[in-house]
Structure 1
Amino acid sequence: MQSFPRELLDGYASFMAGRYARERDRYRALAQDGQKPSTMIIACCDSRAAPETIFDRGPGELFVLRNVANLVPTYQPDGGQHGTSAAIEFAVNSLKVENIVVLGHGRCGGIHAALSPSAEPLDEGDFIGKWMSLLAPVAEQVGGNSFMTAAERQTALERISIRNSLNNLMTFPYVERMVREGTLALHGAWFDISAGELWVMDADSGDFLRAETVDEPEL
């Protein structure tokens, strides 16, 4: 039998001696009382863009869903097994989150693959090609723009994909109802791994603004 990764065991030992030791009471309260996060983050599986790290949040503070390229499909209650949709349903109907943030990031491998459908890993496999086909119509439009560089097309699709996922969220009837009632807010954000910059989507224009330039709402 293969041994458990040593770096994970070392990390666990560091966690127990550090963060857990400092926050033992919080962990015990979470175990006893359950989780009550106010925000759900729909993020990419990419190991470089962990929401808890980017937003410096502790245990119990974020309900995080991660999938390839932070995609949200449309509402399709067809009897299939839909992990992303199940997580959204649980967050909204059971946890009663007040915010859902779709968090994309720069240099996303899934987005790169969507722009190059004949390249790996989309040319083979049982699942990833079908998953990324959620973006196929938009990817074709962006990929066919010869006036943009490859890097510009990549960034453009990363951000357009966030808007697309937010639109798809509104096809969930309970999401649409709660947004209309004002009990749930949807947000888009994009993280630049190289520069460490967070760009937040303006709900009205759809433009992405650097987080430092986003004005606080007037009281």
Structure 2
Amino acid sequence: TPAPAPEAPRLAGGNRLISGLSSFQRNTAPLVRDELARLAVEGQRPSQLFITCADSRLVTSMITASGPGDLFTVRNIGNLVPLPDAESGDHSVGAAIEYAVDVLKVESITICGHSGCGAMQALLGGEPDREAPPTSLWRWLRHGLPSLERMASRHHAWARISGRLPADALEQLCLTNVVQQLDHLRAHESVARRLAEGTIRLHGMYFHVGEAQAYLLTEGASSGLELDEVFDRVDPGDAPGSGELERTGV
């Protein structure tokens, strides 16, 4: 009799997925079932569009103290917002912006960058050999080149955290990228229209992973004024209405 075939090893990632799902069904689902049932009937009405990096260290619901139905979230490599033109635009990000602004009628849009961003590190390292066909990753990262150019330009304000200079070139680019992507966001027709009507607000946010600390771009920054683009620390005692995100605990 032939020996039975050995069992294929189960990958650790698969085990973690099943364990996490089981934990959710056991511990969390009973707590949120009524709220999710309500949202299933009424539909979603998020007040915010939150655009951030796909980095696994950014847990948006944790750092914004938000729950089901609060955030309409877009995640991509480098929290990039491609300009809305035929050649370099990105239909996925553009569609999400249009849907959030025109259909869901969100009241604010946040672009959230973070420390130690691998996308920004790759941009600092320069493009690979131009003779080789560009990879999907580099075709995408080219949307971040304007941030690199902005950081090197003397015609733009200096992006920094309040009270100190950027720790290094990587932090400088991570901060600058948030400011640059806000400019790209304003170029989208639906956003420009709502801004002109005064019915939407834009926020720039930086999350320092090692500090577990959020910073918000000073209100009114990135408007063409030749002043430093300053990210202010969000403290535990900050009250709603002082510039932090609506409907969250930030």
Note if contact 1:44-1:69 (Cα within 8 Å) is conserved in structure 2. Answer: yes
| Distance across 2 between alignment mates of 1:189 and 1:100 | 10
**Range that drifts further, 23-32 or 74-83:** 74-83
**Range that drifts further, 208-217 or 33-42:** 208-217
| Distance across 2 between alignment mates of 1:81 and 1:160 | 21
How do 1:1-219 residues align onto structure 2 when only pairs under 5 Å count? 5-77=14-86, 82-118=91-127, 126-140=135-149, 142=151, 151-205=167-221, 206-212=229-235, 217=241
Note if contact 1:142-1:153 (Cα within 8 Å) is conserved in structure 2. Answer: no
Query: How many matched pairs?
Result: 213
User: In the alignment, residue 203 of structure 2 is paired with which amino acid?
Assistant: H
TM-score (norm 1): 0.86
State the Cα deviation string for residues 35-74 of structure 1 (Å, max 9, x = none). Answer: 1100110000000012112112111111110000001111
| Distance across 2 between alignment mates of 1:63 and 1:94 | 12
Query: CA RMSD of the aligned region, Å?
Result: 2.9
Structure 1 gap ranges (5+): none
User: In the alignment, residue 117 of structure 1 is paired with which amino acid?
Assistant: G
| Distance across 1 between alignment mates of 2:107 and 2:52 | 17
Structure 2 gap ranges (5+): 1-7, 155-164, 222-228, 243-250
- Structure 1 residue 203: Cα displacement: 2.6
TM-score (norm 2): 0.76
Identity level (%): 31
- Structure 1 residue 77: Cα displacement: 4.8
Change (3 A) 1:106 1:5: same
Displaced runs of 4 or more, over 3 A:
1-4, 77-81, 140-145, 213-218
Note if contact 2:151-2:176 (Cα within 8 Å) is conserved in structure 1. Answer: no
